[in-house]
Amino acid sequence: MIEVKEVISEQDLIGALSKIFRPDQMIISKKEVEAHSQTCIPFRKIPDVIIYPTEAKQVQDLVLLANELKVPIWTVSTGKNWGYGEKTATYEGGITLVLERMNRILTVDEELGYAVIEPGVTYKELNDHLKTKGYKLWSDSAGTTQFASVIGNALDKGRGLTPYADHFGHLCGLNVILPNGEVLETGGGPTGNNHVRHLYKWGVGPYADGFFTQSNLGIVVSAGIWLMPAPEHSDCGIFEYKADMSLFGSFIDDFRGLIFSGHMKSFPHLANDFAMLCILDQYPKHLLENGELCLSKEGIAQWRKEHGVAPWSFGFGLYGKKGEVAEQKRMIKKTLGKYGQIHFIGAATENSMKGGLIRKLAPLALKLMGKSQVFAQGYIDALNLFKGIPTDRFARQVYLKAQPEKPVADIDPARDQCGFVWIGPVIPLNAHHSMKALEVAQQLFDKYQFEMFIEYIIESPRSSIFLMGVFFDRNDPLDCERAQKWYREVREVFLALGYPPYRVATHCAEETFDSNPVFKNLIHTIKTAVDPKNILAPGRYGTPPRRKKGTSRE
Amino acid sequence: MIEVKEVISEQDLIGALSKIFRPDQMIISKKEVEAHSQTCIPFRKIPDVIIYPTEAKQVQDLVLLANELKVPIWTVSTGKNWGYGEKTATYEGGITLVLERMNRILTVDEELGYAVIEPGVTYKELNDHLKTKGYKLWSDSAGTTQFASVIGNALDKGRGLTPYADHFGHLCGLNVILPNGEVLETGGGPTGNNHVRHLYKWGVGPYADGFFTQSNLGIVVSAGIWLMPAPEHSDCGIFEYKADMSLFGSFIDDFRGLIFSGHMKSFPHLANDFAMLCILDQYPKHLLENGELCLSKEGIAQWRKEHGVAPWSFGFGLYGKKGEVAEQKRMIKKTLGKYGQIHFIGAATENSMKGGLIRKLAPLALKLMGKSQVFAQGYIDALNLFKGIPTDRFARQVYLKAQPEKPVADIDPARDQCGFVWIGPVIPLNAHHSMKALEVAQQLFDKYQFEMFIEYIIESPRSSIFLMGVFFDRNDPLDCERAQKWYREVREVFLALGYPPYRVATHCAEETFDSNPVFKNLIHTIKTAVDPKNILAPGRYGTPPRRKKGTSRE
């Protein structure tokens, strides 16, 4: 089935791996491997074996063995990059390496604001550790599951919501197993003794951390991550866009001004109605017209009305001394008030009598505001995210069509065969490009008959990730094909418009740099030099693919 | 004299170059080449020819020619990296490529806050352009000369003082001529049409801008640089440390807190008395004791008294709305007031009646404060730097021992044979490491009989560049040797203590990664793959050196 079998039998491979890993560190039965290889994206390949190392030394030994046997290794941290590729490689067979059991928190430095962690450490573990030990530090969290890997998300350039939302930008100093088995320590200094490798980002010489993001030049086995000193005071709010869409462009321009001026310190996700509704409810089949694959505009308007959802909304955080938070509130109200409603509801997340009272009164307040009761808990989780406290609430949105109800716990949309895929072109954060992206997105959602799911993931005052996604029936090949076609056309159209994606789902990984042949050539040259046997994640992010069976192996 | 001559005569080289460059773009006479190759650092090599391209196409043609002829190219932007290496290569002969005539400002985008410029654009040109055209944008400036290259300084990880002090961190999207002559466009998207390559830093795939900092994998021929929207209001101040040195550690810790909390938005350079005095005055030979190579502690104390200089001082900027600037002032006073004196003197830089009056009264005020009159203009230039306005005032400090007086204009310490060299280990920004670095520095300055020159260049709330420098007689081989020995021992001792340098002077370039052999091996592998003939700046930042005459050329 895969080329490695031409050289080494599966039995011999298992035999060789057994010299490094205990039986409980390997999944080898076809049935189990298959069960652990499920995906949400409309694509998957099944490996020969799944390996769970506990120590960097085991990873090192595995890399040396893989070179010897010419077996490829596809590495994930915890594999919770749902909708971007989960654990699947770009090719059949080989070894899938899951680092989730390497989950030690090696250092926390409260004074200088950083931790050193292994790739199995999840948002929940890091946040719990900080809270339990009483550190006055916050870890940013991705909006996805609390069981995602902090390092894995950062290396894939994932985003959070607090002032430390730029996850890759807050990594500093990596330990990396290179394809030749050597352990590289980035951070600009001598091996083994460097007080600043987790403090000073650029090091000396080329900036080496950059080699290992969205890449396959090594396996990161630990990393420094900067943490935010807990501010003296924080609050949070909800904004609901209520103005005519003709004003949306100037709203975006004003929003940008708030970030440039420092009055908006968090990095909100501005979600459209459908994206919000996916969080609150299951798919309203009763609103689907006969024979249609997706809700009509009227259907969505009706559904929106049932829950009191605005056409666009976002949550945000406020941070600083009390007076500074008040000034941020004032400026946000002054700047965005003309476009909609702003509610400051930080008190509701407080662990105080006041907080308890507000939570008790929330149902009544929501009713008065024309909102459904499901809002209440969602608000609190959303607003906790602005303090870096992770949650599984928003990951549950992907169960929209897959099950009659959203699960309460044990979220695993890959296992549960929720079909969905994300694509996030980067756009300039201004009126023109925000409107242009929206217009084109609407056409493509309509063309393939998917409801339009949009989040502007604010990246900086200069750019935004324009996140689009579709939900489909993962077990229906025709529906998978529809999603695949939508994805590819969106990718091509947005590339042609000058909006390249910030991240690539695995089924399109090999095409990543096709539109930039000089860069592709450079990356291929470097990859071939550093990993001459193409052992590490071949085909990941536009690198040379694993050759098909029957052709030369390297 | 150099290996290229074994293959091609100088005449043939000039002949080949003449097909690409006009006569006025080449310096070929031995005397002129020698005059343009002078250095401040105690080291220099002389090239065969110096070339001044005006177009990227010429650079591309040159790279192709150099590959053909196997002649190395050492590239500088304007070569104003005084004290780090100026224009010198690590080897004799070859082509020195100076990009100063490629000085077009290609784009300024006021809305999204960036410019795209060529490497010959200086701080002065960029700042003048923004001011003349009325853009509400500030460019950060290095504390060195206004004629330094914005891109060159950023690619060498130079620093400024405003909130945009991290120059490399504010580069975004490069055009690079690769060693094979291809033009790489970084910034994550398709060649020729990408609206976000100067807006979104990380691109897609490995972060490519990072390949080209302190490196030699390509020649950057244009770059995006982020600019700071002019704040509604700004002010600036001077802090003078007056407390006992036993409190210096807790002062550093409190300083860090101000940066973390956002009340100190600029990135000051905390200078010791000698560093300040070098700016204000020429070397006080009258205070030198008989036979001593450097001033005694008493001599420095006396000199310091003459000018009313504090043991430590720094300037800083304040930015935001009026109320926010007031709050920053309040917090800075509250936090640092116990360690010394703070003067807010932003009004003195204002182009108003009030500003004029203050400037008129400055001499009297200085006298009352026990300060010499030379302070007055220095203050204004320093404080302008916190608005990104460049100056040559501080570059003049390096004339300390070289001439009887500091020149008023036309600063060129390399031409004027001022001997000096900088080294900047990175240290954690806390009490322990700040005191440790100071203690070790003092021992090494004493050992080699140089006056201690220290600036803590605040890099972030987490780290500081601990800049040390010495002034010596560039034309005295013995004094040059003393400086060389001081530099090498400082480098070794600070590396061993875990404080790697942020930047390497050219005479030590080849040793950059000797203490980190795995990184050295990785960089060599990549360099050899991307530049197989080792054409671009061989030996720069720890890459494979140009082989000596008589050995194989590659």
Query: Over the stretch B233-281, which tens digit does the pLDDT of each residue have?
Result: 999 999 999 999 999 999 999 999 999 999 999 999 999 999 999 999 9
pLDDT over 60 at B3, yes or no? no
The type of residue at A443 is Q
Query: Alpha-carbon distance B314 to B329, whole Å?
Result: 15
**Within 10 Å of residue A364's Cβ, how many Cβ atoms?**
9
When pLDDT is averaged across residues A315-336 and rounded to a whole number, the result is 96
DSSP assigned state of A349: G
User: pLDDT at residue B554 above 70?
Assistant: no
How far away is chain A from the Cα of B470, in angstroms, using its nearest Cα?
A: 22
Q: Nearest CA to CA, how far is A238 from chain B (Å)? A: 24
For B426, which of A200, A210, A496 is closest by C-beta distance?
Answer: A200
> What are the pLDDT digits (tens) for A512-540?
999 999 999 999 999 999 999 999 999 99
For B73-125, what is each residue's pLDDT tens digit?
A: 999 999 999 999 999 999 999 999 999 999 999 999 999 999 999 999 999 99
Q: How far apart are CA B213 and CA B502, in angstroms?
A: 12
Using a CB-CB cut-off of 8 Å, the residues of chain B touching A541 are 204-206
Q: Cα B153 to chain center, whole Å?
A: 6
**pLDDT band at residue B193 under the 50/70/90 scheme:** confident
**pLDDT, position A187:** 87
Q: What angle do CA B125, B126, B131 make, to 5 degrees?
A: 95
Cα B157 to Cα B164: distance, rounded to the nearest angstrom = 13
For the cut 60, the answer to whether the pLDDT of residue B434 exceeds it is: yes
Across B188-209, average pLDDT: 90
% of chain B residues with pLDDT over 70: 97
Q: DSSP letter at B109?
A: E
Distance CA B512, CA B504 (A): 7
User: What is the rounded average pLDDT for all residues in chain A?
Assistant: 93
- Contact list in A for residue B499 (CB cut-off 8 A) is 189, 195-196
Q: How far is A228 from chain B (nearest CA, A)?
A: 8
Distance (Å, whole) CA A468 – CA A500: 13
Q: Given pLDDT bands bounded at 50, 70 and 90, which one contains residue A554? A: very low
The verdict on a CB contact (< 8 Å) between B522 and A200 is no
| Burial class of residue B354 (count of CB atoms within 10 Å of its CB; 0-12, 13-18, 19+) | exposed
Chain B residue numbers with beta carbons less than 8 Å from the beta carbon of A497 are 193, 195
| CB within 8 Å of A431: residues ≥ 6 apart | A248, A249, A250, A252, A253
A522 CB neighbours in chain B (<8 A) are: 178, 182, 184, 208, 530
Which of residues A86 and B356 earns the better pLDDT score?
A86
Mean pLDDT, rounded, of chain B? 93
Mean pLDDT of the A156-185 span: 97
Return the residue in B516, B527, B531 with the most chain A beta carbons within 10 A, the one to mutate for interface testing. B516
Which chain A residue's Cα is nearest to B187? A500
And the tokens for B291? 């036979």
Chain A hits for B261, CB-CB cut-off 8 Å, are: 229, 231-232, 320-321
Residues 6+ apart with CB under 8 A from A394: A143, A144, A279, A381, A382
Residue range A29-77, pLDDT digits in tens? 999 999 999 999 999 999 999 999 999 999 999 999 999 999 999 999 9
User: Which of B182, B189, B428 lies nearest to residue A498, judging by beta carbons?
Assistant: B189
Consecutive H or E run containing B528? helix B517-530
Task: Compute the C-alpha angle A112/A117/A121, nearest 5°.
Answer: 130
For residue B334, CA distances in Å to B250, B327, B329, B338, B383 come to 14, 10, 8, 8, 21
The band of A551, judged by pLDDT with boundaries at 50, 70 and 90, is very low
| 8 Å CB contact between B263 and B332 | yes
Spatial separation of the C-alpha atoms in residues A329 and A327, rounded to whole Å: 5
Dihedral angle sign, alpha carbons of residues B477, B483, B485, B487: negative
CA-based nearest distance A358→chain B, Å? 30
Best B175, B198, B207, B460 member to test A by mutation, with max A CBs in 10 Å, is B207
Nearest one of A364, A361, A391, A365 to A378, comparing CA atoms:
A391
- Whether residues B427 and A530 touch (CB distance < 8 A) is answered with no
- A169 chain-B contacts, CB cut-off 8 A: 201-202
pTM, two decimals, is 0.96
Q: Return the SS3 of B551.
A: coil
Q: Could you tell me which of B203, B224, B252 has the C-alpha nearest to residue B437?
A: B252
Handedness of CA B319, B323, B329, B334 (dihedral sign): negative
How many whole angstroms from its chain centre is CA A175? 22
Half-sphere exposure of B123 (CA within 13 A, CB side): 25
Helix ranges (H only) for B91-200 are 123-133, 150-155
B4 — pLDDT class (breaks 50, 70, 90): very low
Alpha carbons within 13 angstroms on the beta-carbon side of residue B379 total 27
Q: At what angle do helices A375-385 and A353-368 cross, to 10 degrees?
A: 130
Least confident of A86-90, A223-227, B156-160, B395-399: B395-399
pLDDT(B203) > 50:
yes
- Beta-carbon separation of B428 and A199 below 8 A: yes
Q: Using CB atoms, which residue from A231, A428, A513 is nearest to B205?
A: A513
Residues 6+ apart with CB under 8 A from A350: none
Question: Are A528 and B529 inside 8 Å of each other by CB?
Answer: yes
- Residues sharing a CB contact under 8 Å with residue A259, sequence separation 6 or more, in sequence order: A429, A458, A460, A461
Residues B122 and B144: their CA atoms lie apart, in Å, by: 11
Burial code (b: 16+ CB inside 10 Å, e: under 16) for B369-408 equals eebbeebeebbbbbbbbbbbbbbbbbbbbbbbbbeeebee
Report in angstroms the alpha-carbon separations of B415 from A400, B77, B461, B478, B495: 71, 17, 38, 20, 32
> Beta A219-226 vs A171-177: how paired, if at all?
antiparallel
Rounded CA separation B245/B255 (Å): 15
HSE, CB side, 13 Å, CA atoms: give it for residue A323.
9
Q: Give B37's Cβ-side CA count (13 Å radius).
A: 29
Maximal C-alpha separation, chain B = 70
- For residue B180, the distance in angstroms to the closest alpha carbon of chain A comes to 10
Let me know if A428 is exposed, middle or buried by CB neighbors in 10 A (0-12, 13-18, 19+): buried
Q: Measured between alpha carbons, how far is B493 from B488 in angstroms, rounded to an integer? A: 9
- DSSP strand E in A168-291: where? 171-177, 183-185, 219-226, 228-229, 233-241, 269-272
Lowest model confidence (mean pLDDT) among A189-203, B314-328, B454-468: A189-203
If phi > 0 it is left, if psi is from -120 to 50 it is alpha, else beta; for residue B27 that is beta
Query: Which amino acid appears at position B481 of this protein?
Result: E
Contacts of residue A232 in chain B, CB cutoff 8 Å?
261
% of chain A with per-residue pLDDT over 90: 85
Could you tell me the pLDDT band of residue A119, with boundaries at 50, 70 and 90?
A: very high
Q: How many CB pairs under 8 A join A and B?
A: 276
Q: Give B173 to chain A, closest Cα distance, Å.
A: 13
Phi and psi torsions of B265, nearest 5°:
-95, -20
Q: How far is A213 from chain B (nearest CA, A)?
A: 5
Residue type, position A126, single letter: L
The ipTM value here is 0.95
pLDDT number for residue B5: 44
Q: Which pLDDT does position B368 carry in this prediction?
A: 80
Chain B hits for A84, Cβ within 8 Å = none
Quick one: residue A26, left, alpha or beta (phi over 0 = left, psi -120 to 50 = alpha)? beta
Give the pLDDT band (50/70/90) at residue B285. very high
Q: Which residues of B touch A184 (CB under 8 A)?
A: 518-519, 522
H/E element holding B76?
A: strand B73-76
B548 pLDDT band (50/70/90 cuts)? low
**A contact test, residue of B60, B63, B107, B112 with most A CBs within 10 A:** B112
Does A500 contact B196 at a Cβ distance shorter than 8 Å?
A: yes
Please compute Rg for chain B using Cα positions: 24
What residues of B are in contact with residue A426 (Cβ under 8 Å)? 188, 196, 199-200
Q: What share of chain B is helix, strand, coil (3-state, %, to 5)?
A: 40, 20, 45
Binary contact (B207, A206; C-beta < 8 A): no
- Nearest CB among A113, A189, A516 relative to B260 is that of A113
Beta strands in A274-339 (DSSP E): 312-320
Rounded Cα distance between A204 and A209, Å, is: 11
From A255-264, A382-391, B536-545, the region with the lowest mean pLDDT: A382-391
Q: Is the pLDDT of residue A250 over 60?
A: yes
Q: Which residues contact B387 (CB under 8 A, 6 or more apart)?
A: B138, B162, B234, B236, B317, B349
Mean pLDDT of A461-483: 97
Test the A interface: residue of B63, B114, B200 with most A CBs within 10 Å: B200
Helix H segments across B19-176?
Answer: 30-35, 56-69, 123-133, 150-155
Out of A185, A430, A498, name the one closest to residue B111 (CB).
A430
Which member of A194, A327, A429 has the closest CB to residue B323?
Answer: A327
Rounded percentage of chain B residues whose pLDDT exceeds 90:
85
Residue A374 has pLDDT above 90, yes or no: no
Residues of chain A found within 8 Å of residue B206, distances taken between Cβ atoms: 210-215, 217, 523, 541
Tell me which residue in A157, A182, A426 faces B518 most closely, judged by beta carbons: A182
Residue B303 has pLDDT above 50, yes or no: yes
CB–CB contact B262 A495 (8 Å): no
Q: Provide, as residue numbers in chain B, all residues whose Cβ is less than 8 Å from the Cβ of A324.
A: 324, 327
- pLDDT at A7 (0 to 100): 62
User: What are the chain A neighbours of B185 within 8 Å (beta carbons)?
Assistant: 516, 518-519
pLDDT in tens, B210-239: 999 999 999 999 999 999 999 999 999 999
